[in-house]
Every structure is written in structure tokens, then in C-alpha cells.
Amino acid sequence: MSIRPDWAAIADSMPPSLSDEEQHQLWLIECKKWLGTIADEFGGSYRIAESENFLILSDESDRYVDVFSSFLERTLKRILKTLNGIAADDGFGKHVAVIFKDSDEYYRYVSLFYPEEGEFGMSAGMYINEGYGHFIFPSQDITYAEPTAVHELTHACLSHLPIPLWLDEGLAVLMEDALAGNHLYLDQEIVSRHQAFWNMQTIQEFWSGDSFSRIDEGQELSYSLAHVLVRNLVQNFEVFAQFCNLANYSDAGEQAAQEVLGCSLAHLVGGFLGEGDFKPRDKVGFRKGLVDED
């Protein structure tokens, strides 16, 4: 098996008459084969640890893996409860986390999912939203690994929704805030940086998701702006949940905003940035994003 399998072909090979439990077990077998292939490819002492809802591939100590897997189990329950009606834990098999032993191996794996040419922003972790979705990050102290896991596991619990990347990332950083204590920090300097950076051109990158991969301050400001917007919207959770379930990456969520929130996305952004031409434009290549970064 390849370290980047043809998951569509694997799905097509599954007998159609299987029960849900039988499908779950078959996907679990395929997943373990795949993780074994990754372990063989990268060598060293990588091994698979399993808990009720997770498979973890790493070369971390048994103590580290025990603490981390317990944290993941608790966090999954908390995300589903906090984002009730938005997040979901559907699908067969278990959630997968891969902890690479260093940044070199992490980026070697990440490179499989990026074009050969181009410049892309750095990341502390990533949810690979392709085939069998999984989240990855390089080895780090558990105190840093836990917030990263909250962020990426939130992406996993949102992967059933065709939401735009700004909303996906906004929810992920909101959960970091709520569950890991990574609070949103805003002062006049940061607000001024936002106001100086975002304009008619750069805001289109935000709506399409491209700005989250910038190599300059635009990446940081993208996560910050997404956090601000989602934190404001979530104050009325029932309405916000309706918006999340209707929002589509094809128009950055504009139609859903008008139908559910009664205003445009430009109005939402303008409430923070001030006056400007912030409306999502047609045909700017909207996408949900193959890879979500932290």
C-alpha cells in the first residue's frame, strides 16, 4: 500500500452488503495497513497506539501517548458538545493522528499534498482533508501538542460540511480558545494591522482561503480575522449553527449569510475593519481547501 493510497478505489472495493459494523472493521483494517506503510517509509521506532476512537502513529514514549490519547478522547466529546448541531463524528474507522519525530519528516509528508512549485506558509499542524482524513504535526511538548490537537480535531469534526475555509479555521481557533486557553488577543496595534492589510484585493484571498497559506503576516491576520468573525457570530448559537449548516465554500458563505444572518459578509467584516469594499467577488476560485493549517 502507498503512503498516499487511492482511497476511492478502496471504498469501491468494499462489498455493498456489509453492515455498518462490518464496514467500520474493514476500514479499520485498511487504516492500520496504511499507517504501517507510513511507519515503514519513515523508519525509526514508529508504532501504532489505539484507543476507543483514535489511532495514533508516533515514536513518542508510552507515557506521552497515554496522556495524549486520553486528551483526544476528552476533546472529541467536548467539541461535539460545544458545537452541537455543527460538528459530527460520522464515518467508518477511527480518527487518525500522526506525530512525526521532527519537522523535516513532517514537511516531507506534507509535500505529498502540495504542488511541486510555489511558496506556502509554515504550520504547527495540519488536517489532511483528503481520502481518509487525518491530522499531523511534528513532535512537540505535550503542552503545545494539545492545543494543536484541538484545532486539527475540530477540522476533522467539520469535514462533513462544505463550509468555506475562513469559517472552518474560525471554528478551529474558537475551539482552541474555549478548550485549550489560546485566547484571542486584540489591541489597537493588532486592529491597526488588520485595517492596513485588508483591502479590496486581499479580502478576496481571505474569502477564497488562499490567505491562510500566505508566507507573510497575511497568514497570521487571516486566522485572527476568522477568529474575530466567528467569535462575534457564535453569540447567537442557534442562528450561527443554521449558518454553518447552510454556508458553502462556492460563494464563501455569502448566500447563507444573507438568508440566515440577514446581512452580507461585507457587513460582518466592515463591523470590525471599518468601511471598505469587502464583498466576495464572483469567480475568484473559492475552495474549501485540501489542507487546513494551524
Domain 7-160 coded CATH 3.40.30.160: yes
Average pLDDT of 212-216?
91
Of the pLDDT bands very low, low, confident and very high (cuts 50, 70, 90), residue 55 is very high
Q: Is 112 buried (19+), middle (13-18) or exposed (0-12) by CB count in 10 A?
A: exposed
Neighbours of 276 (CB within 10 A): 14
The 10s digit of each residue's pLDDT in 168-211 is 999 999 999 999 988 888 899 999 999 999 999 999 999 999 99
pLDDT of residue 69: 98
| Amino acid (one-letter) located at 69 | S
Rounded Cα distance, 68 and 30, in Å: 23
Instruction: Count other Cβ atoms within 10 Å, centred on residue 140.
Output: 14
Q: Is the pLDDT of residue 6 over 80?
A: yes
The confidence score (pLDDT) of residue 1 equals 84
C-alpha cell at 255: 448566500
pLDDT digits (tens, 9 = 90+) for 230-244: 999 999 999 999 999
- The pLDDT of residue 185: 84
Q: What is the pLDDT of residue 121?
A: 57
Name the pLDDT band for 31 (thresholds 50, 70, 90): very high
Q: Which three cell numbers stand for residue 234?
A: 457564535
Residue 147's nearest CA partner among 23, 26, 294 is 294
Hunting for cell 484571498 — which residue is that? 205
pLDDT of residue 283: 53
Q: What is the pLDDT of residue 225?
A: 98
Tell me what the pLDDT averaged over the chain comes to.
Answer: 92
pLDDT of the residue at 81: 98
Rounded mean pLDDT, 217-228: 96
Mean pLDDT for 119-134 is 83
The confidence band for 114, taking pLDDT boundaries of 50, 70 and 90, is confident
pLDDT digits 0-9 by tens, 245-293: 999 999 999 999 999 999 999 999 999 999 999 999 865 555 554 445 5
Q: Map out the domains of the chain as residue ranges.
A: 7-160, 179-293
Q: Would you say residue 294 has pLDDT above 90?
A: no
Q: Report, as an integer, the average pLDDT of 52-61.
A: 98
